[in-house]
Amino acid sequence: MQGQLVVKPHRPGRARVLAGAIVVAVLVAGYVLFEFGRHEGGFDTLEARSQHQGLQTRIAELSAENEELRQKVALLETSRGVDREAYSQVEGTLGDLQRQLQEQREELDFYRTIVTPSDGQSGLRIQELSLSPGAQASAFRLHLVLVQAAQHDQVISGVVNLSVDGAQAGKPVSYALGRLVSDADAVPMGFSFRYFQNLEAELLLPDGFVPERVNVEVTPSGKQAKVIRQSFDWTTKAT
């Protein structure tokens, strides 16, 4: 029996496809085995992707919040500066107005005392005595205000004497005005006015003397004039 010749078509493309399919199958099988191993080790690809996406979202949210906070801080800083400046200006203006108002009220009360005293008493009186620090530690400026209330038909004149009571070396001491001023010839202090008069004196206290009280004696001119005596606590005020 004569042998038969079998002719098979040569298809190189199919071989390449088959080889490629085998390679892909091997890769897929490898990846599946790799993922299976990671899954068995506690790693989940889908969960990892979800977490990654969540982190990206949170980062975006935090970035937006951070930028918003920065803008708010910048706005607050600017507003605070503006508010502080405005508040300072308003506060300063209000303080000035309040001081002016207080001064005007005091001035008004002062003139009312001269024209129509609230107690209804007329004649000479001591309106105010104040003390303020001088240039030296033991130096003080005394300011005395005399007024003539209600009666202004004539000029009133006279002299003022005063003394300062206190302690020195633990003992009570009293110094007359002549011992406390540099110009003894200016004692007593004279006055002459119809409505009011301001009197001032520079007092220099002896070393170690602690003043406690100022005694003022106002002696108007005239035989029937009434002497006014009044004491004030030694209290200094800032200049």
| Structure confidence at residue 43 (pLDDT) | 45
Tell the residue number behind the tokens 């009011």, with chain if given: 196
Q: Which residues, 6 or more positions from 185, have their beta carbon under 8 angstroms from its beta carbon?
A: none
| Structure confidence at residue 151 (pLDDT) | 76
Distance (Å, rounded) from C-alpha 50 to C-alpha 57? Answer: 10
Reported as a single tens digit per residue, the pLDDT across 120-158 is: 788 899 999 999 998 888 899 999 999 988 877 788 999
| Structure confidence at residue 152 (pLDDT) | 74
DSSP state of 10: -
Distance (Å, rounded) from C-alpha 144 to C-alpha 162? Answer: 11
Q: Which residues partner with 101 through β-bridges?
A: none
Domains of the chain by range and CATH?
123-233 (2.60.40.1200)
| Structure confidence at residue 99 (pLDDT) | 74
| Structure confidence at residue 167 (pLDDT) | 95
Chunked into runs of 10 residues, the chain (239 residues) has average pLDDT values of 51 56 57 54 54 58 65 63 62 69 79 80 90 90 92 86 94 93 81 91 93 95 88 85
| Structure confidence at residue 5 (pLDDT) | 47
Q: What HEC string does 134-183 produce? A: CCCCCEEEEEEEEEEECCCCCCEEEEEEEEEEEEECCEEEEEEHHHHCCC
What is the per-residue DSSP string for 170-234? Answer: TEEEEEEHHHHSS-GGG-SEEEEESSEEEEEEEEEPPTTEEEEEEEEEEEESSTTPPPEEEEEE-
Q: Which of 164, 157, 194 is nearest to 178 (CA)?
A: 164
| Structure confidence at residue 182 (pLDDT) | 81
Q: pTM here?
A: 0.58
| Structure confidence at residue 42 (pLDDT) | 47
